[in-house]
Copies of this chain bind each other. A is one copy, B any other.
Amino acid sequence: MAIKFQLEKTCRQTGARLGVLTTPHGSFSTPIFMPVGTQATVKTLTPAQLQVVGAEIILSNTYHLYLRPGHVVVEKAGGLHHFMQWSGSILTDSGGFQVFSLNDLRKITEEGVEFRSHLDGSRQFLSPELATHVQNALGADIIMCFDECTPYPADYSYAKTSLERTIRWAARCVKAHAKPSEQALFGIIQGGMYRDLRAESVKAMTELDFPGYALGGLSVGERKPLMYEMLESTVPFMPQDKPRYLMGVGSADCLVEGVLRGIDMFDCVLPTRVARNGTALTANGKVVVRNATYAEDFAPIEAGCDCYTCQHFSRAYVRHLIKAEEVLGLTLISIHNLRFLLRLMADMRQAIREDRSGDFASAVLSRLQ
């Protein structure tokens, strides 16, 4: 087995779980947030800076790396860890999400998906076998099944057809996976916003006995209460002894709500993406640092924050950098935003340890309002 998951406890107040996940590149406690390094770099940060903010596992994208620089180049470099010099753990997604979200001209068949590269318009094809092969070459610690991320809204019949194909694809991914002792392949639960389809998906995926399970097709445009409802109706049927990963979710409130409902892993581009708009995340909500109101505000982005940015720089300086289109502004906000989310998860873990995750969550959520 490539990974080991040890469930340490479930909070007495909520469904929140504390665990330890061990990969070939180290152990970390869950629940955890994974910064996203789409193109083999978490945008604007060096691996050294990423380590300082407290990242332990990051996500990278099969779709992007397949198109550029190509998985063969990464494999020749000694794999993704070596290529990007990240010594912690890595998870790669399968490319499924990007194939569907970045391509209007995709054509889905039972065999796989034909699509056009967003880089040069070239005709491309990904299948469960190829996506798995590419991920074997990239060499991440955790890899994902090639699935269709069911769009929202989707009618019942589409969601069912899509889900059933995703299940057949999952079995093909398992078969194609060449390095099960080095890389853990996770299954992905789909089913749109339909409880019975989600249940069917859980059943089929658990039959394939994956070392971990992701929830896909959530946070795709539906309202948050609906997402929480889907978690509540799905998570309890997922295996207790395997990590549960909610894909593409990373706002502070959703992280907290997800943890309360038994999720162990999250990823999202949000903290680095909003940084590029000059927006900082704090315990009291967003601070749009680029706004004129901060022009002469010499306080840090977030009082009491232990990140490099808040320990050294003022809102006025960061705002100046953003207005002047200086890259350092993005770097400094990204450092803060990632540190904020990673610290939030660490605090959440401590709250679970002390059986007060419900109280902690209420306090966090009320400040975020």
Binding site for B on A (CB under 8 A): 39-41, 43-48, 64, 68-69, 73, 76-78, 83-85, 295-296, 298, 308, 312-314, 316-317, 319-321, 323-324, 326-328, 330-332
Contact = CB atoms under 8 A, between A and B. Distances in A.
Given A44-B327, A85-B312, A327-B331, A295 B77 contact: no
B39 A73 contact: no
A316 B85 contact: no
A46 B77 contact: no
A316 B48 contact: no
A328 B76 contact: no
Nearest to A39: B324
7 contacts: A40-B321, A41-B321, A43-B327, A46-B308, A48-B308, A69-B319, A83-B317
Contact of A40 (B298, B320, B331): B320
Contacts of A331: 44, 46, 327, 331
- The 8 tightest CB contacts between A and B, nearest first, are A69-B320, A39-B324, A41-B328, A44-B327, A85-B312, A41-B326, A327-B327, A83-B317
A289 to B, nearest CB: 13
A198 to B, nearest CB: 36
A298 B76 contact: yes
